[in-house]
Amino acid sequence: MIVIVVQINVKPECTESFVNESQFMQNKSQKEPGCVGYQILRRIDNPDRFTFIETFESEEAISAHKETAHFKQWRANVYEMMASDRIAGQYNILE
């Protein structure tokens, strides 16, 4: 199991569009066979900041996710909405 944690800062004027695009992509991602969980978190004290917690079964499942139409569409559609580069890391879960 691999968890990807992604931090994204969105331009204030874009947050509503970003949420719509991201929830559409989340919904599709959750249906991928290798996706165990896909959570979108929004910071309480700064609603322009988001953290995505994406749990996949394997490296192969992550590669497959990145090839999906919904991921590519999301990435293209939100690119201009980001206030800075997104920060991502891959993690193991301590059991």
Cα separation of the two ends of the chain: 11
- Two tokens, residue 28: 């599709």
User: Given the complex with a second copy, which of 13 and 92 has the nearer CB atom?
Assistant: 92
Interatomic CA distance for residues 73 and 58, integer angstroms: 22
Binding residues for a second copy (CB under 8 A): 2-3, 5, 19, 22-23, 26, 39-45, 49, 51, 53, 89-94
CB of 56 to a second copy, least distance (A): 12
Residue 65 CB, nearest approach to a second copy (Å): 17
43 vs 72 by CB, closer to a second copy: 43
Determine the Cα–Cα distance for residues 11 and 82; give it in Å rounded to an integer: 6
